[in-house]
Structure 1
Amino acid sequence: MNRSYLTAVTLAVAALSAGQALAADTDAPKTREQVRAELREAQRTGDIVADGETGQKLNELYPNRFPATATAQGTTREQVRAELREAQRTGDIVADGETGQKLNELYPNRYPATATAQGKTREQVRAELREAQRTGDIVAGGESGQKLNELFPKRYPTNASN
């Protein structure tokens, strides 16, 4: 009787703490009914911390008492083999364990060249810089990481007036 009472109290405390943690989500305020539904689901699946020291959940301590969680499908043997063949073909395999260089870096003439994305022209970069200077969309020097238009909003046009 004493052990079952202790277990019931532990579950009740865990349920209350889980309910408060779920209700404390400030990004999207939830209704009382949503919180209760999440609590019921956590109780059903054992997704409630049971041991405060280790942080283990009930479904980790007693996996046979709760439904098994769905696991992501792993890579098949054939997919791994195909990835290996492709890495061998392109030389994307580490050849030197000390430096971490790959075969295609050590012997670039033996492997097909990798496609590189087309960069911006000098004039495009200059145009972007002029626009950023005009709108204050440049990080100010300092530890805050704020942009000039955030520090001095009256000096720069707002997005609505662009």
Structure 2
Amino acid sequence: MNRSYFSAITLAVAALAAGQAIAADAHTPKTREQVKAELAEAIRTGDIVVNSETGQKANEANPGLYPAKPVVQGYTRAQVKAELAEAIRTGDIVVNSETGQKANEANPGLYPAKPVVQGYTRAQVKAELAEAIRTGDIIADGETGKKLNEIYPQRYNRVN
């Protein structure tokens, strides 16, 4: 791989990483050192896209050149059996694959009622709305999803 091609990839990944970092958490931007460290880690592990058409990463194209990803431990047989028994007991098992209807929805009288989760009180909702209006934490542009405090930062104090 020639040097200019590798540099172009490096810059693209850095820009992408920086863009994702800013989009993910606009209130705490990452430092230059953090972005460089993330880029170095992505290059080391092969977690960078090498084929933009397919989205294939370097560690997928050449798995022998990069360290193997840690294997995530799944459920044990006993855990799966216990979960299935609980689903059968509560009726949380699909009985109609076309509609996705569960047994407890088809025959609610045969299964225990699900516990009702307590929602917010009217006062809590009003207080939350008032705080969102005060801080500009309300979506102003449905197309982009930007909030008022992002569009008009001079109108709202940054609250962390």
TM-score under structure 2 length normalisation? 0.63
Q: Give 2:31's aligned residue.
A: 30
Higher strand share: 2
Change in Cα spacing, 1:118 to 1:135, as seen in structure 2 (3 Å) is closer
Equivalenced residues, count:
138
In structure 2, give the amino acid aligned to 1:13: A
RMSD: 3.9
Q: Give 1:8's aligned residue.
A: 2
TM-score under structure 1 length normalisation? 0.62
Which residue, out of 12, 16, 23, partners 1:21?
A: 16
Q: Is the 8 A contact 1:49 1:55 kept in 2?
A: yes
Deviation at 1:78, TM superposition (A): 1.8
In the alignment, structure 2 segments of 5+ residues that lack a partner are 134-139, 149-155
Q: How does 1:1-162 map to 2 (within 5 A)?
A: 7-9=1-3, 10-24=5-19, 25-26=21-22, 27=26, 28-31=29-32, 33-118=33-118, 125=122, 144=141
In the alignment, structure 1 segments of 5+ residues that lack a partner are 1-6, 138-142, 148-157
Change in Cα spacing, 1:44 to 1:115, as seen in structure 2 (3 Å) is same
Change in Cα spacing, 1:77 to 1:39, as seen in structure 2 (3 Å) is same
Deviation at 1:131, TM superposition (A): 6.5
Deviation at 1:88, TM superposition (A): 1.0
Change in Cα spacing, 1:87 to 1:129, as seen in structure 2 (3 Å) is closer
Q: Work out the percentage of aligned pairs sharing the same amino acid.
A: 44
Aligned equivalents of 1:41, 1:115: Cα separation in 2 = 45
Deviation at 1:45, TM superposition (A): 1.0
